[in-house]
């Protein structure tokens, strides 16, 4: 009996040790969407994710944290309502994320490259976190030594992260890491960054888009046989993960980025639908996201569920087609494969972008949050 109990305890410990992060981004601007697409903090299931990241706050030129939308964050109680989710789940961690694509890179390069401004920024971040009750901070600088940045950004980033971590105590520090191999090499001293932060949320998506002029999936798991150049062979999740590992990041700190949306194209010839088929611009905007070339899973499953679906056996991702509209999506099967690779490689977990484009209302018959729940079922 004693042996059996010891074995049971060991198995329980092993099972617990494999529980992985499910990091979910909350996009604050989604409160302005219409109809079933409107997403507010109360739509967040507090028991779904291990971490919820409030995206985004910005950076001012003097090294202060800048609330990008005072009306949403303060007047509509966006920040306090997100923080209050912890009352329903004491284990949930809420982080604030600074940056994003629209913030650019120049201000981050200037502030973090200036020792005085960098010290000011560290002090202001810690004060902001403690003022609102966040459990940590996520930096989404897109990207060091890119988009107006300079080569010294990579080392200045390390100094900033080290100084910030030293001032944060036991609060969580994470960083959003590029999914593009060339940008990884330019932006990060990977071993030093990984040694400092608690998590690296990889942007292993948006590999392809309407700007390419031809069809490609934005979040391929693997390369296609049609990918023949060195650059093209690196535009997939598997290549991103292995490059970070090869550069010195421990698997346990990497969270694979998994999206709940698709990128779409308008085909030049509706009869040509294979990868690399010529296109003439983005697909039509979805009714909720209202962004040409993008469609949330919730939009696709609610409005376009009858569109023919094709699952690519090489890249392991699906796409849907209607006339000249071609949209590479994720579905329950594709995110399951990604989550299984997370587990196989012993990664820290998954970073989901984002809560608002999953079927959070459960309209399509798979229950609420079918994609994120599938990821969670594999990882936790």
Residues acting as catalytic residues: 142
Reference 146, options 178, 193, 116; nearest CA is 178
Coil, strand or helix at 243:
helix
Separation CA 240–CA 141 (nearest Å)? 18
Tracing tokens 């990579």 back to the chain, one arrives at 154
Q: Is 357 exposed, middle or buried (0-12, 13-18, 19+ CB in 10 A)?
A: buried
- DSSP, res 80: H
DSSP 139-191: EE-S-TTSTT--TTHHHHHHHHHHHHHHHHTTSEEEEEEES-HHHHHHH--HH
φ, ψ at 238 (rounded to 5°): -60, -40
């Amino acid at each position: 009996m004693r042996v059996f109990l010891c074995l049971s305890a060991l198995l329980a410990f092993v099972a617990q040790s494999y529980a992985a992060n499910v990091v979910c981004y909350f996009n604050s601007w989604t409160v302005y969407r219409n109809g079933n697409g409107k997403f507010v903090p109360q739509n967040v299931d507090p028991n779904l994710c291990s971490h919820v990241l409030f995206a985004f706050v910005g950076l001012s030129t003097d090294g202060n944290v800048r609330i990008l939308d005072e009306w949403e964050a303060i007047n509509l109680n966006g920040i306090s309502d997100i923080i209050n989710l912890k009352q329903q789940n004491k284990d949930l961690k809420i982080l604030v994320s600074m940056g994003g694509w629209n913030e650019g890179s120049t201000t981050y390069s200037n502030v973090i490259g200036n020792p005085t401004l960098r010290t000011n920024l560290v002090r202001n971040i810690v004060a902001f976190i403690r003022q609102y009750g966040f459990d940590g901070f996520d930096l989404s600088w897109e990207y060091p030594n890119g988009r107006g940045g300079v080569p010294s950004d990579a080392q200045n980033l390390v100094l900033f992260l080290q100084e910030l971590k030293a001032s944060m105590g036991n609060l969580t520090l994470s960083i959003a890491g590029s999914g593009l191999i060339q940008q990884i090499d330019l932006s990060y001293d990977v071993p030093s960054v990984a040694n400092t932060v608690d998590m690296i949320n990889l942007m292993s998506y948006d590999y392809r888009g309407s700007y390419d002029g031809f069809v490609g999936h934005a979040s391929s798991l693997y390369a296609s046989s049609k990918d023949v150049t060195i650059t093209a062979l690196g535009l997939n999740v598997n290549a991103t993960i292995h490059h970070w590992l090869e550069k010195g990041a421990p698997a346990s700190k990497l969270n694979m980025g998994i999206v709940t949306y698709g990128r779409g194209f308008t085909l030049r010839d509706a009869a040509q639908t294979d990868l690399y088929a010529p296109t003439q611009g983005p697909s039509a905007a979805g009714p909720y996201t209202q962004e040409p070339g993008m469609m949330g899973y919730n939009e696709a499953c609610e409005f376009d569920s009858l569109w023919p679906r094709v699952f690519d056996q090489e890249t392991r991702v699906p796409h849907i087609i209607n006339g000249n509209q071609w949209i590479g999506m994720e579905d329950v099967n594709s995110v399951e494969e990604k989550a299984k690779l997370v587990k196989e490689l012993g990664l820290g977990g998954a970073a989901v972008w984002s809560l608002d484009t999953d079927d959070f209302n459960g309209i399509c018959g798979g229950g609420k949050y079918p994609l994120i729940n599938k990821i969670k079922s594999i990882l936790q």
